[in-house]
């Protein structure tokens, strides 16, 4: 098998920089790698921050980690270091606040703020933070989502579907950042753009059924992964959470060559197989493994397991012990 080629990731950290030089270093690096801004740090230890950047097709991706600090992009910086992008920012862990124009927005972890980089703004983080920034050219944002973005837009997680879509986007991005294989880049960028559209615009005339369906399928798989151990998980529950009919959900899975029930069953078997092949399975009854992975019957679990892997659960565990 040919090894995967990873995309080049630009990285920088203040860790090895003298404390009194960190702010200047951080501002200079951000101006070259992401966006020109001024930074202020209020922690006793000074600014502790790191930045990782990826460039996909049209979309840039940045992962920022740090302690409490404030960044500002003022009119002078916009003139000296111009950039015409729309940033979609998702902040984890820390409460934060965003100010642009007449809008001052408090942000809870897991909420999105969407803003233009050619207008002055201030972004503050109240504690240890992790921020993902989707860097979109303004033309791309206007074409896919909103024709005009005259003021910053905050997207909360008021509904269950919004929370699920944001979690799906976050998990998909975290997984790709962990291993940005070149052959996966096109697929990831497409998934991210579709999810962003469903989160920002939502269902309606502005979203085609095809693109909305792609987001629903990704969100359905995320929901299934979260609830896989529940024996009551089924197509109807997943569809109800997404706000679509079970028939429509089945069509989405059929377009990908499967069905919701088949996908749920396969994922349950994969997790059970991984457990049986690990040292954690020592001392576990097969019935406990079955029930832990959503199977209501040990006999049904054993039949499905053998049909999938060609051996019984007990044999799979014995093979691991022998290895």
Would you call 71 exposed, middle or buried from its count of C-beta atoms within 10 A (0-12, 13-18, 19+)?
Answer: buried
How confident is the model at residue 61, as a pLDDT? Answer: 96
pTM: 0.78
**Domain at 9-156: CATH architecture:** Sandwich (2.60)
Q: Which of the four pLDDT bands, split at 50, 70 and 90, describes residue 212?
A: low
pLDDT higher than 80, residue 211: no
How confident is the model at residue 223, as a pLDDT? Answer: 87
- Cβ atoms of 164 and 222 closer than 8 Å: yes
Q: How does pLDDT run across 167-209, given as a tens digit for each residue? A: 889 989 999 998 999 999 999 999 999 899 888 886 554 444 4
How confident is the model at residue 207, as a pLDDT? Answer: 46
Q: How does pLDDT run across 128-140, given as a tens digit for each residue? A: 999 999 999 999 9
How confident is the model at residue 320, as a pLDDT? Answer: 59
Q: What is the mean pLDDT of residues 56-77?
A: 96
pLDDT higher than 70, residue 70: yes
Of 272 and 214, more confident: 272
- Cβ atoms of 281 and 320 closer than 8 Å: yes
pLDDT higher than 80, residue 282: no
How confident is the model at residue 317, as a pLDDT? Answer: 82
| Average model confidence (pLDDT) across the chain | 89
Q: What is the mean pLDDT of residues 251-270?
A: 88
What does the domain layout of the chain look like in residue ranges?
A: 9-156, 157-247, 259-322
Q: What is the mean pLDDT of residues 15-29?
A: 95
pLDDT higher than 80, residue 3: no
Long-range contacts of 19-22 (CB under 8 A, 24+ apart): 19/45, 19/46, 20/46, 22/46, 22/47, 22/49
Of 321 and 60, more confident: 60
How confident is the model at residue 323, as a pLDDT? Answer: 53
Query: Facing residues of 181 across strands?
Result: 6
CA angle, residues 193, 221, 243, in degrees to nearest 5: 80
Would you call 3 exposed, middle or buried from its count of C-beta atoms within 10 A (0-12, 13-18, 19+)?
Answer: exposed
Q: What is the mean pLDDT of residues 274-298?
A: 85
Q: What percent of the chain is modeled with pLDDT above 90?
A: 53
Rg (CA), the chain: 23
Q: What is the mean pLDDT of residues 282-310?
A: 87
Q: What is the mean pLDDT of residues 102-127?
A: 95
Q: What is the mean pLDDT of residues 2-30?
A: 91
Sign of the torsion angle spanned by Cα atoms 135, 138, 143, 146: positive
Q: Which of the four pLDDT bands, split at 50, 70 and 90, describes residue 159?
A: confident
HSE, side-chain direction, 13 A CA sphere, residue 69:
25
Is 259-322 assigned to CATH 1.10.10.10?
Answer: no
């Amino acid at each position: 098998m040919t090894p995967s080629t990873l995309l080049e990731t630009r990285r920088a950290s203040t860790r090895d920089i003298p404390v009194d030089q960190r702010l200047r270093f951080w501002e200079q690096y951000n101006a070259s790698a992401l966006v020109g801004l001024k930074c202020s740090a209020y922690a006793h230890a000074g600014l502790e921050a790191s930045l990782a950047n990826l460039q996909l097709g049209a979309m840039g991706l940045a992962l920022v980690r740090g302690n409490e600090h404030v960044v500002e992009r003022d009119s002078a910086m916009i003139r000296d270091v111009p950039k015409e992008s729309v940033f979609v920012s998702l902040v984890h862990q820390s409460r934060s606040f965003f100010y642009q124009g007449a809008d001052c927005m408090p942000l809870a972890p897991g909420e999105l703020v969407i803003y233009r980089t050619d207008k002055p703004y201030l972004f503050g983080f109240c504690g240890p933070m992790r921020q993902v920034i989707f860097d979109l050219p303004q033309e791309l944002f206007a074409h896919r989502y909103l024709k005009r973005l005259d003021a910053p837009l905050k997207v909360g997680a008021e509904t269950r579907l919004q929370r699920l879509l944001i979690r799906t986007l976050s998990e998909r991005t975290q997984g790709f950042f962990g291993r940005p294989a070149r052959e996966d880049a096109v697929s990831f960028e497409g998934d991210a753009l579709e999810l962003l559209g469903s989160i920002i615009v939502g269902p309606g005339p502005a979203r085609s059924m095809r693109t909305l369906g792609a987001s629903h399928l990704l969100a359905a798989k995320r929901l299934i992964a979260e609830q896989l151990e529940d024996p009551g998980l089924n197509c109807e529950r997943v569809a109800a959470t997404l706000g679509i009919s079970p028939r429509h959900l089945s069509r989405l899975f059929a377009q990908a060559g499967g069905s919701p029930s088949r996908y749920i069953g396969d994922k349950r078997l994969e997790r059970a197989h991984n457990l049986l092949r690990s040292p954690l399975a020592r001392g576990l009854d097969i019935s406990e493994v079955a029930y832990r992975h959503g199977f209501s019957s040990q006999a049904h679990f054993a039949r499905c397991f053998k049909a999938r892997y060609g051996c019984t659960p007990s044999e799979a565990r014995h093979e691991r012990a022998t290895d």
